[in-house]
Chain A
Amino acid sequence: MEKLLLIILLVLFPLSGNAKDAKSIIKNAIDKYRGETSYSEVEMIIHRKSWQRSMVMKVWTKGLDNSLVRIISPKKDAGSGNLLKDDKMWSYTPKINRVIKIPSSMSNQSWMGSDFSNNDIARADDIIDHYVHKLLKEEIKGDHTIFHIESTPTEEAPVVWGKEVLQIRDDDVILEHAFYDQDGELIKKLSTLEIKEFSGRAIPAIQRMQKTDSEGEWTEIRIHVADYSVKIPTRTFTLTNLRNPR
């Protein structure tokens, strides 16, 4: 009897269909940004009230689980890098020629002194599997439709956020990604400032991460070059390769 009631309810209110849509919108956007494989040159600008620092790095990715970041400037840090593989993260610097595995307890620490956390970098795709998604509204702006999606982590999700709200354009470009804590307070927001085409795809070329409680302080990621058609061998994403900056 109860089962029957449930079936009737499901037929009358097909919530699940809606949720699946929201999920696939997010998945498509992340897939598009990361690509099956990608190579890019990215500048990271860390802006603080009294100073600013800029780093340029090369980034290789394959699927959602493999990525390698290598710093090329400033000179002082050139050759240092990060390897991400299946949610694990290693750091290398030629200064001491050692690799350190970043413990998972450090996942909310800042990544290279920026406003991004290690988690933001390593587990960007957690949002697909560990969250429940709800389409808040569809907004039509110019030629595009913008989907507003609220993603709430499930009980066992390994995250600190209470919810995340994304704005995704109909061509799979993430326009905004806001992070809220358990009390529903906005903690930080990633906004897309500029969209460019790389390898024929529209990609957020300039994104800015800003924490709510520190005005005038932000981190910007600017994509200078991006290539989604390159073939990247699997051995790129190994500790041996992390240790050997070519």
Chain B
Amino acid sequence: MGSIFKLAWRNIWRNTRRTILTMCAIGFGASLIVFSVGLQLGQYDLMISGSTKIYQGLVQVQKEGYLDDARMRDSIPNAQALGDEIRKLSGIKDITVRANGFALVSSEERTYGVAVAGVEPEHEDGVSIIPGLIKTGKYLSDNDAQEIVIGASLAKNLKITVGDELTIMGSGRDGSIAATILPVVGIFESGSRELDRSLVQIPIDTFQDAFSMEEHAHAIVIYHKDANLAEPLKLQLQTLVSKRQQQLVALTWDEIQPGIKESIELDYSSGWVMYIVLVAVITFSIMNTFLMSVLERTREFGIMLALGFKPFNIGKLVMMEAFILTLLALVIGTLIGIAVNYYFLINGLTFEGMEEIAAQYNMPATITPQISLESSLLGPLVILIFTLLAALYPAMKIRKLEPVEAMRHI
């Protein structure tokens, strides 16, 4: 083995220029894939955190069936007590309880239909970034405060500002008429068009009062910044709430908003179609190089066979050459790719028109690539496999060589 490696190493550098050119092709392909995959995965991270940290959280506990058809009746009994229990038992702090409803909100001049959320002001802060995005006024103060905060676009549509009163009218949990009048204490601007136009928040006790909810609510929302924890968190919570036997389910962010995960998966697989085309181009050019280097050494192989080398070992030698060359090129290419990713991770990458697209997904306008095992190694690994397959063909050709005939070859 050692001698074959030595032989292969020497053979590679017999034609330095060709070797370096081939390595360039492989290395460039590798860094390109590492950079693009890193960028793509980084973008997905932003999409996920955009959808989770603004409002929806990473995992939610809901009544079974509430997700499909948000009926007020499908609620969690003693929700705030359950929220406290989960806080204590799971050790996670960023948990908030919300009740949701639909109502007409009306200023002196105008009326709009909006989603009304009853929230726990003191816990909302860690779960959603809305409390931190209050543009004018302040956030809700207490669970039973007579206050309301609304989105900036809605405030503009209703032609109201902090201090004005809003009339809220909708249906309560028991079907009765829910109505209350609350002063606007704060206006938030989340950047999400949907939330800014059609979400209002009021303290949870105030909500339960107005909407005849008793002690019920609709969601216990848990936030954690690491999206990979969604599944384990879900399992932990599911076990916890199953004990209550109230048909409660724990749902991850992608179950709550399946659109985001679907569009990520679609984008990722269409990205890979591009990469495979790129890898195929690289592979064919490498196959050409390998084939050339084997064909021009027919005489040499003939002598080796005559000296007693087994065809199998010569095949191994050629494969070893291909392996060393590819690996070397991949290491260099991958390192360059990671370096580029690192540069943009520090400095951020943005391009024209990015802001508008990003706003739709609640994303910032700069992308930072992801540096992970997947982004750094998956692409190069695919190239390695393809190039070794490409080297297999010339290596197989050697087995058909006859020593005498081969030696006569020029």
Contacts and interface: CB of A to CB of B under 8 A. Distances in A.
Interface stretch (B131-139, B166-174, B199-207, B228-236): B166-174
A95 B177 contact: yes
Interface in A81-121: 91, 93, 95-96, 98, 100-103, 105-106, 109, 112-113
Given A102-B104, A112-B171, A113-B171, A77 B176 contact: yes
Given A77-B176, A112-B177, 4 more contacts: A46-B175, A96-B181, A103-B111, A105-B112
A13 interface: no
Interface in A43-73: 46, 48, 50-51, 53
A76 interface: yes
Contact of A100 (B73, B167, B180): B167
B73 A50 contact: yes
A48 B171 CA distance: 15
B167 A98 contact: yes
28 contacts: A46-B175, A53-B174, A76-B176, A76-B177, A91-B104, A91-B169, A93-B179, A95-B177, A96-B167, A96-B169, A96-B180, A96-B181, A98-B106, A98-B169, A100-B106, A100-B111, A101-B106, A101-B111, A102-B104, A103-B110, A103-B112, A103-B113, A105-B112, A106-B113, A112-B171, A112-B177, A113-B171, A113-B175
A80 interface: yes
Contacts of B167: 96, 98, 100
A74 interface: yes
Nearest to B111: A103
Interface residues of B, number: 17
Nearest to B180: A96
Interface string B178-202: 0111000000000000000000000
Nearest to A94: B179
A190 B106 CA distance: 32
B169 A100 contact: yes
A77 B174 CA distance: 11
Interface of A: 46, 48, 50-51, 53, 74, 76-77, 80, 91, 93, 95-96, 98, 100-103, 105-106, 109, 112-113
When A and B form their complex, which 5 residue pairs have the shortest distance between CB atoms, in order from nearest?
Answer: A53-B175, A113-B171, A95-B179, A100-B106, A113-B175
Nearest to B109: A101
A76 B106 CA distance: 22
Nearest to B110: A103
Nearest to B74: A50
A95 B179 CA distance: 7
A1 B167 CA distance: 64
B169 A105 contact: no
Contacts of B176: 74, 76-77
Contacts of B181: 96, 98
Contacts, number: 54
Nearest to B103: A100
Contact of A51 (B73, B106, B179): B73
A87 to B, nearest CB: 16
Contacts of A74: 176
A139 B104 CA distance: 45
Contacts of A102: 104, 111
Contacts of A93: 169, 177, 179
Contacts of B171: 112-113
Contact of B177 (A48, A80, A101, A106): A80
Nearest to A91: B169
B73 A109 contact: no
Instruction: Give the one of B111, B167, B179 with max A CB within 10 A.
Output: B179
Contacts of B180: 95-96
Given A113-B171, A113-B175, A105 B73 contact: no
Nearest to B170: A113
Most buried by B among A50, A95, A101, A109: A95
Interface string B98-120: 00000010100011110000000
A92 to B, nearest CB: 9
Nearest to A214: B69
A50 B167 CA distance: 31
B207 to A, nearest CB: 15
Contacts of A53: 174-175
Contacts of B179: 93, 95-96, 98
B332 to A, nearest CB: 59
A51 B212 CA distance: 15
A112 B73 CA distance: 15
A100 B171 CA distance: 14
A86 B181 CA distance: 28
Nearest to B112: A103
Nearest to A46: B175
B72 to A, nearest CB: 9
Contacts of B177: 76-77, 80, 93, 95, 112
Contacts of B174: 53
B80 to A, nearest CB: 23
Contacts of A77: 176-177
Nearest to A53: B175
Contacts of B111: 100-103
A216 to B, nearest CB: 14
Contacts of A105: 112-113
A190 B256 CA distance: 34
A98 B179 CA distance: 9
